[in-house]
């Protein structure tokens, strides 16, 4: 298996392999260009974003600054909005549904490092996908960790660290993030 195939499968892989380095550098160049454009260059920014992401809906806006590792593993549904300072480490797929709103300073991290010291010191890592359903609001300064799924119609409170799956239709908050109440009971 190539290092990219290992990365996609969730196995330990070497992120310093030449092809992966080249792909990350290309994404960093595109992010740099995206973040450097003036506010009046919205059409140019939109074109850069569409060239960077794996797929996205017609109505997508990510405010600068935006950073990602590869870009091609990020899939964004219709009516997606992310405020400033979004970071997506997309060694594995990161999939957002429709009508997703992400507040400032949020991170979605698919990459992780092994607990085994020898493997970690060998600079190996692994990646697990992240999935965010439709009609989800992610509050400011939220951190979503590898392998997490967030269900539809859910709100993640500001400052939360999401280290496990969150079901649909709930308000979830905290470190670690946990559901605190159903949003469907009150018709919210």
Closest listed residue to residue 35, CA positions, set 58, 62, 8 = 62
Strands (DSSP E) along 139-184, which ranges?
143-144, 149-150, 155-156, 161-162, 170-173, 178-182
Half-sphere exposure at residue 28, Cβ-oriented, CA atoms within 13 angstroms? 7
Give the active site residue among 59, 73, 79, 113.
113
Cβ(133)–Cβ(23) below 8 Å:
no
113 catalytic residue (yes or no): yes
Q: What are the catalytic residues?
A: 113
């Amino acid at each position: 298996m190539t290092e990219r195939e290992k990365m996609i499968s969730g196995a330990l892989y070497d992120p310093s392999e030449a092809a992966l380095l080249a792909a990350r550098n290309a994404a960093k160049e595109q992010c740099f260009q995206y973040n450097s454009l003036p506010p009046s260059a919205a059409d140019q920014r939109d074109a850069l974003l569409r060239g960077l992401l794996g797929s996205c809906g017609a109505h997508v806006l990510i405010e600068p600054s935006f950073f990602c590792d590869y870009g091609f593993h990020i899939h964004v549904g219709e009516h997606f909005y992310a405020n400033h300072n979004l970071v997506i480490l997309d060694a594995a797929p990161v999939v957002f549904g429709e009508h997703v709103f992400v507040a400032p300073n949020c991170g979605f991290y698919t990459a992780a490092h092994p607990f085994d010291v020898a493997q970690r010191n060998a600079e190996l890592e692994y990646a697990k996908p992240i999935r965010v359903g439709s009609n989800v609001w992610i509050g400011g300064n939220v951190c979503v960790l590898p392998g997490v799924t967030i269900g539809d119609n859910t709100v993640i409170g500001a400052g939360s660290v999401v280290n496990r799956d969150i079901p649909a239709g709930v308000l979830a908050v905290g470190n670690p993030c946990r559901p605190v109440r159903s949003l469907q009971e009150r018709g919210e």
